[in-house]
């Protein structure tokens, strides 16, 4: 009887909602009391979605025509909440932006901070993570400013959840513990403590620290003994689901089944949290499937899928279909297994959910061995893309937090503080001036010492080059003597003998002279070959003399290879005319290479180092690359090594460029300009 009366009431409500001429709603529209009625109807879970939307829009139209004050903003938040409950997230975001605009106009920091958190939730639901992080950060600054610790903790928790979704697990963990630190001194925050412990449990499960995950999930479950937390939130069912999921990850399917069953036993679960009911049902079916308990399977999978499909829960639908694919694969129904996997893959690609796409590809590679290689390749490419995207998002979060300025102080008593600020500013200026003079003097002294050290180092290199030059010159003189001796003793002696012999041909008859002449011509040919060989030796000597700078560098490289384990690859552009390069440039380039190698050896932890000299029009380019751990050039202060490199490049009027990132190695590029009269490029004509 009660059931029939409820149906009758619902039909009456629909009838009233569809009949514009109804006297009841005409009275409501004409009354100031209509706003609470509309807000109440918009939140009535028994009404169809269409009517709840209409009532919320009517409430909004009334609010927009009222005076913009604190009560007006409270009512706007109520409208936003109803849109959120109806899953009309677009309207939820629109109202949040409206409240932000009104709060900024009226300098209402409290409602502005709250509206920022609402907008952050909207951006997070739409996977616009960088915008979500930015508005959470703005809310955080405002809550700190007005010393609202409870709402600050809520904002931290939202930020931690966002960081977790973007796989920035380390930063998420830090943010949660910051939240717990604030909540330690607060009262009536059991619900926030629950969410902190619950998120930590999920986070540690993701990191495969299962004991910690269970510890925090059980802490969350114990928090629910506090009766002040509404039971209709179904947090106990959530915790049982999460604990079961940890056991599922541990492959302890018996315990996971127990916890999923406990979750499903919670009172009014289906009515109060249908999506959670569907999740528990799917997880329970999967645990039973893994235990080879096939009773009620796949019916439970299909029931969960139907619910998720009606609620348009994309991620849940994808997971359901992957589970059904696994089930049919075990049942040797390959056609259905592939069919469900492909449906999951297509849906995940449309929704642009990378993790779901990876799971679908992984399942397809398992159930479709013929095309496994294709799916595996796509899986690897997509996984790399996801990892890079997550790393970039983590870096973007850090950049937003670093670059966002503090919100300006809106204190109305600025005039009273002006005198104090002037005094403080004057004292700071004097102190700053003194500190500047002191530091400038220190810098000049350091620069003088540095120049002296550079001069000594330059002299050492110059002496090394002179010593090398003398050694080559000595070798060259010895070679000249050797060549002269060979020419005198060998070539000239043989040529003299042939000349005498040719003179004797005049006294012979023609037949004998012809035979002798052939013999002497052959001998002249041998002499010609000997002279050519001597000429080649001389050319090689000249090349060695010209490239003595390369020889010095090669000695440095040999020493590097013999001393350190890293593989060293070197390259010299054959177009470079080292004999035309100024000695000052050579000295500085040598020292830059030496310094770069030293940095690689001390800090980079590289397995491969590449040093390359290239020629460009009017420029000589040195590049040193290592595949080591890298660093952030913006955050790392220049040490003495990098300062030396920049100083030496400046001595040659050159430029220094450093490209590096953590885990991606380091590339140092030095470009030195060369006088236009000296073109390092050889002419190809």
* Percent of the chain topping pLDDT 90: 32
Residue 58: CB partners within 8 Å, gap ≥ 6? 29, 34, 38
Residue in the block written with tokens 């500085």: 588
pLDDT for 416: 58
Burial of 341 (0-12, 13-18, 19+ CB in 10 A): buried
Query: Residue 563 pLDDT > 80, yes or no?
Result: yes
DSSP calls for 331-376: TT-HHHHHHHHHHHHHHHHHHT-HHHHHHHHHHHHHH-GGGHHHHH
Residue 579: CB partners within 8 Å, gap ≥ 6? 546
Q: Are 674 and 619 in contact (CB under 8 A)?
A: yes
Residue in the block written with tokens 């679960």: 269
Strand partners for 611: 570, 624
Query: Residue 22 pLDDT > 80, yes or no?
Result: no
pLDDT for 282: 94
**Residue 173 to residues 90, 280, 529, Cα–Cα distance (Å):** 30, 26, 80
Query: Residue 504 pLDDT > 80, yes or no?
Result: no
Tell me the per-residue pLDDT of 123-143, one tens digit each, with 9 for 90 and over: 988 888 888 888 888 998 999
DSSP calls for 388-416: HHHHHHHHHHHHHHHHSPPPPP--TTHHH
pLDDT for 10: 41
pLDDT bracket for residue 583 (50, 70, 90): confident
Residue 660: CB partners within 8 Å, gap ≥ 6? 630, 631, 632, 633, 666, 667
Tell me the per-residue pLDDT of 83-107, one tens digit each, with 9 for 90 and over: 988 888 899 999 999 999 999 999 9
Query: Residue 6 pLDDT > 70, yes or no?
Result: no
Query: Residue 7 pLDDT > 50, yes or no?
Result: no
Tell me the per-residue pLDDT of 55-76, one tens digit each, with 9 for 90 and over: 999 999 999 988 888 889 899 9
Query: Residue 361 pLDDT > 90, yes or no?
Result: no
Query: Residue 649 pLDDT > 80, yes or no?
Result: yes
Which is more confident, 410 or 116?
A: 116
pLDDT average, residue stretch 189-207:
92
Average pLDDT along the chain: 80
pLDDT bracket for residue 655 (50, 70, 90): very high
pLDDT bracket for residue 288 (50, 70, 90): very high
pLDDT average, residue stretch 461-487:
63
Residue 191: CB partners within 8 Å, gap ≥ 6? 229
Query: Residue 531 pLDDT > 90, yes or no?
Result: no
pLDDT for 127: 81
What is the rounded CA–CA span in Å between residue 283 and residue 274?
14
pLDDT for 494: 63
pLDDT average, residue stretch 630-642:
73
Q: Are 117 and 155 in contact (CB under 8 A)?
A: yes
pLDDT average, residue stretch 464-474:
63
**Residue 667 to residues 172, 628, 659, Cα–Cα distance (Å):** 32, 10, 5
What is the rounded CA–CA span in Å between residue 639 and residue 642?
6
Query: Residue 447 pLDDT > 90, yes or no?
Result: no
Tokens matching residue 461: 């290199």
pLDDT average, residue stretch 617-627:
91
pLDDT for 68: 87
Q: Are 183 and 144 in contact (CB under 8 A)?
A: no
pLDDT bracket for residue 23 (50, 70, 90): very low
Between the ranges 65-79, 482-496, 506-520, where is the mean pLDDT highest? Answer: 65-79
Between the ranges 42-46, 446-450, 540-544, where is the mean pLDDT highest? Answer: 42-46
Query: Residue 599 pLDDT > 80, yes or no?
Result: yes
pLDDT for 412: 46
* Percent of the chain topping pLDDT 70: 76
pTM (2 decimals)? 0.53
Name which of 106-120, 273-287, 291-305, 427-441 the model is least confident about: 427-441
Burial of 653 (0-12, 13-18, 19+ CB in 10 A): exposed
Region of 678 please: left (phi>0), alpha (psi -120 to 50) or beta.
Answer: beta
Side-chain-side CA neighbours of 274 within 13 Å: the count stands at 13
pLDDT for 503: 66
Query: Residue 425 pLDDT > 50, yes or no?
Result: yes
């Amino acid at each position: 009887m009660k059931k029939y009366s409820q149906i009758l009431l619902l039909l009456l409500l629909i009838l009233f909602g569809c009949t514009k001429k109804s006297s009841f709603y005409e009275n409501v529209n004409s009354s100031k009391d209509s706003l609470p009625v509309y807000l109440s109807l918009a939140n009535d879970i028994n009404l169809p979605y269409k009517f709840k939307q209409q009532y919320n829009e009517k409430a909004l139209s009334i609010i927009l025509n009222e005076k913009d004050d604190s009560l007006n903003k409270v009512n706007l938040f109520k409208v936003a909440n109803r849109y959120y409950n109806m899953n009309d997230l677009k309207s939820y975001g629109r109202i949040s932006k409206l409240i932000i605009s009104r709060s900024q106009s009226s300098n209402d920091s409290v409602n502005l901070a709250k509206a920022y958190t609402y907008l952050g939730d909207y951006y997070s639901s739409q996977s616009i993570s960088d915008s979500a992080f930015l508005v959470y950060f703005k809310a955080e600054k405002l809550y700190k400013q007005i010393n609202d610790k409870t709402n600050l903790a809520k904002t931290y928790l939202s930020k931690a959840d966002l960081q977790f979704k973007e796989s920035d697990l380390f930063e998420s963990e830090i943010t949660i513990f910051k939240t717990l630190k604030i909540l330690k001194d607060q009262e009536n925050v059991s619900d926030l403590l629950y969410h902190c412990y619950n998120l930590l449990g999920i986070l540690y499960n993701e990191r495969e620290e299962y004991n910690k995950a269970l510890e925090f999930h059980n802490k969350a479950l114990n928090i629910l003994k506090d009766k002040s937390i509404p039971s209709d939130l179904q947090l106990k069912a959530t915790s049982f689901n999460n604990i079961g999921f940890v056991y599922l990850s541990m492959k302890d399917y018996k315990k996971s089944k127990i916890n999923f069953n406990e979750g499903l036993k919670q009172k009014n679960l289906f009515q109060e949290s249908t999506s959670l009911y569907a999740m528990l049902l799917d997880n329970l079916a999967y645990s039973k499937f893994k235990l080879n308990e096939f009773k009620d399977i796949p019916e439970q999978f299909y029931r969960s899928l139907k619910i998720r499909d009606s609620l348009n829960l994309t991620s849940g639908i994808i997971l359901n279909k992957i589970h059904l694919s696994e089930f049919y694969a075990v049942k040797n129904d390959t056609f259905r297994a592939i069919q469900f996997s492909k449906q999951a893959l297509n849906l995940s690609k449309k929704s642009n959910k990378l993790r779901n796409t990876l799971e679908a590809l992984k399942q397809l590679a398992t159930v479709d061995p013929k095309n496994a290689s294709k799916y595996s390749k796509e899986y690897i490419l997509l996984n790399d893309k996801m990892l890079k995207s997550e790393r970039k998002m983590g870096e973007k979060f850090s950049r937003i937090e670093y670059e966002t300025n503090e919100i300006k102080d809106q204190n109305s008593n600025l005039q009273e503080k002006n005198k104090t600020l002037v005094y403080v500013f004057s004292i700071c200026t004097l102190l700053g001036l003194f500190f500047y003079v002191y530091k400038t003097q220190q810098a000049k002294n350091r620069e003088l010492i540095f120049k002296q050290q550079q001069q000594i180092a330059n002299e050492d290199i110059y002496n090394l080059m002179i010593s090398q030059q003398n050694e080559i010159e000595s070798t060259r003189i010895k070679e000249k003597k050797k060549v002269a001796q060979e020419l005198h003793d060998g070539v000239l002696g043989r040529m003299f003998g042939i000349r005498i012999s040719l003179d004797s041909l005049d006294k012979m008859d023609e037949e004998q002279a012809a035979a002798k002449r052939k013999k002497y011509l052959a001998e002249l040919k041998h002499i010609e070959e000997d002279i050519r060989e001597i000429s080649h030796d001389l050319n090689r000597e000249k090349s060695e003399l010209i490239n003595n700078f390369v020889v010095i560098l090669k000695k440095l490289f040999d020493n590097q290879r013999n001393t350190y384990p890293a593989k060293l690859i070197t390259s010299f552009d054959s177009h470079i005319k080292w004999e035309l390069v100024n000695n000052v440039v050579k000295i500085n380039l040598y020292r830059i290479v030496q310094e770069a190698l030293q940095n690689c050896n001390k800090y980079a932890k590289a397995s491969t180092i590449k040093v390359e000299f290239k020629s460009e029009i009017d420029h000589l380019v040195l590049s040193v690359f290592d595949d080591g751990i890298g660093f952030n050039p913006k955050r790392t202060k220049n040490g003495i090594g990098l300062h030396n490199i920049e100083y030496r490049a400046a001595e040659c009027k050159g430029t220094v460029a450093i490209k590096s990132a953590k885990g991606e190695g380091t590339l140092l590029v030095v470009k030195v300009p060369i006088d236009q009269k000296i073109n390092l490029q050889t002419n190809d004509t």
